[in-house]
A = this chain, B = another copy of it.
Amino acid sequence: MAEPLGFRPLYRQVKAIFVRRLVDGVWAPGEGLPSEGQLAAEIGVSQGTVRKALDELAAENLVVRKQGRGTFVAEHDERRILFQFFKLVPDQGERRFPDSAVLSVTTGVADAAEREALDLPARDKVIRIRRLRSFDAAPLIVETLSLPQRLFRGLEVDPIPNNLYSLYAARYGVTIAHARERLKAVALAPDDAVLLGVAARSPALQVDRLALALDGMPVERRLSLCLTEEAHYLSDLR
């Protein structure tokens, strides 16, 4: 009578140890990890097992490996966000990052959609950030972010940087690991159309993003309305 339960390979247990250290901030973004040999000796497994654990973390973009230099905790620098999280690219010209103008920062009780997405109990509060993003002063995206207030205390009192994911990591120890986006084509409401400088009822690409932390906890919801006259959402199917 063998165990009907799943088998858990050693390298996954090692990986779990490493993820724990990332979640707890023992290893902070940008920092270099100990060498494979040191980690192997510390944990008491072979170097090959550590290697396999680190390879999986690298495949998930949680660490970056550099031959001859070492293994480093991944950062949310502009380049990474541009390629991993920002899928809207100009039809012509280089892939680049838009400017952001914050329209408002408010707090309030989460509505049904926010509670559902962020897995919040009733009456929990969220911070809402509304901003307009542009390429060369040409409005491109108007978006509303919703964040659980209990995770991001004090965020609303300071200036909002363009690169939010870097701020989440540095100030709140929250690392965005991946995201799920749901896309629809919609007709713009009059007020959004005004902000984007187009006619009401113009078609726009609506992107409903839920961003998840290292441990899988949902930490940010982002509802974006994008003009796609001169840009498109790029999706690679592999």
Contact = CB atoms under 8 A, between A and B. Distances in A.
Interface of chain A, main secondary structure:
strand
Nearest to A180: B236
Contacts of A124: none
B183 A203 contact: no
Interface string A218-238: 000000001010001111111
A186 B185 contact: yes
Interface string A186-197: 110000000000
Contacts of A33: none
Contacts of A183: 183, 205, 228, 232-235
Interface residues of A, number: 31
B182 A185 contact: no
Nearest to A205: B185
Given A61-B238, A85-B237, A205 B181 contact: no
Contacts of A205: 183-185, 205
A54 interface: no
Contacts of A232: 182-184, 208
A175 to B, nearest CB: 14
A35 interface: no
A101 B178 CA distance: 37
A204 interface: yes
Interface in A53-94: 60-61, 84-85, 87
Nearest to A209: B237
A15 to B, nearest CB: 16
A179 interface: yes
B60 A238 contact: yes
B178 A237 contact: yes
Residue of A187, A208, A233 with highest tally of chain B CB at under 10 A: A233
A235 B181 contact: yes
A46 to B, nearest CB: 14
Interface of A: 60-61, 84-85, 87, 178-187, 201-206, 208, 226, 228, 232-238
17 contacts: A60-B238, A61-B238, A87-B237, A179-B236, A180-B235, A180-B237, A181-B234, A181-B237, A182-B235, A183-B228, A184-B205, A184-B228, A185-B205, A185-B228, A186-B203, A203-B203, A233-B235
